[in-house]
């Protein structure tokens, strides 16, 4: 069992530090999760339109792979090369120049890559409950640390 010396650190400060650490963990887990997947692949616009009933060949204007940001290129390359045709990433949004990264919104884009046209789907999911919980834990932790230090100072 861990010995706790109350003369050096108050219980409030210790609990506050634990809450602040929980805040950091929750904030990381609540960061946006990016999922880029390949929904369809075809060699030409006509073949893509034939495989997708919702589009005509004139509506399919693929974005050139070189025009994408490095993060977007990594996501498309990762999805194309993966066995399940899905690439996932977590972290702050890079606000790509072509892909509109918005929470819980599915975006479809046509991308020309290595001689084929891909229908790329991008979904961003932010864990709002985790972010809210981590902010609450951080607030409680800050209050506990402050009150523990204030109490120790006034003794």
Q: How confident is the model at residue 137 (pLDDT cuts 50, 70, 90)?
A: very high
The whole model's pTM is what? 0.60
User: Are 56 and 78 part of one and the same domain?
Assistant: yes
Report the alpha-carbon distance of residue 146 to residue 112 in Å, rounded.
56
The count of domains in the chain is 2
Question: Is 130 buried (19+), middle (13-18) or exposed (0-12) by CB count in 10 A?
Answer: middle
Q: Is residue 4 part of a domain?
A: no
User: Are 116 and 41 part of one and the same domain?
Assistant: yes
Q: How confident is the model at residue 101 (pLDDT cuts 50, 70, 90)?
A: very low
Report the alpha-carbon distance of residue 34 to residue 89 in Å, rounded.
5
Provide mean pLDDT across the span 121-146.
87
Contact criterion met (CB below 8 Å) for 120 and 36 = yes
Provide mean pLDDT across the span 84-96.
67
Q: Is residue 50 part of a domain?
A: yes
Provide mean pLDDT across the span 53-78.
83
Q: Is residue 2 part of a domain?
A: no
Residue 83 belongs to domain spanning: 32-125
User: Are 54 and 109 part of one and the same domain?
Assistant: yes
Q: Is residue 3 part of a domain?
A: no
């Amino acid at each position: 069992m861990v010995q706790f010396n109350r003369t050096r650190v108050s219980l409030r400060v210790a609990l506050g530090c634990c809450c602040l650490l929980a805040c950091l963990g929750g904030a990381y887990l609540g960061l946006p999760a990016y999922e880029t997947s390949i929904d369809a692949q075809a060699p030409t616009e006509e073949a893509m339109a034939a495989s997708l009933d919702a589009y005509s060949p004139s509506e399919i204007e693929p974005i050139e792979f070189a025009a994408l940001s490095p993060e977007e290129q990594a996501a498309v390359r990762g999805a194309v090369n993966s066995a399940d045709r899905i690439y996932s990433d977590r972290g702050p949004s890079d606000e790509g120049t072509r892909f509109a990264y918005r929470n819980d919104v599915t975006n479809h884009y046509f991308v020309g890559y290595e001689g084929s046209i891909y229908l790329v789907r991008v979904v961003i999911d932010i864990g709002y409950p985790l972010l809210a919980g981590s902010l609450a834990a951080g607030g409680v932790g800050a209050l506990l640390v402050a009150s523990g230090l204030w109490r120790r100072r006034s003794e």
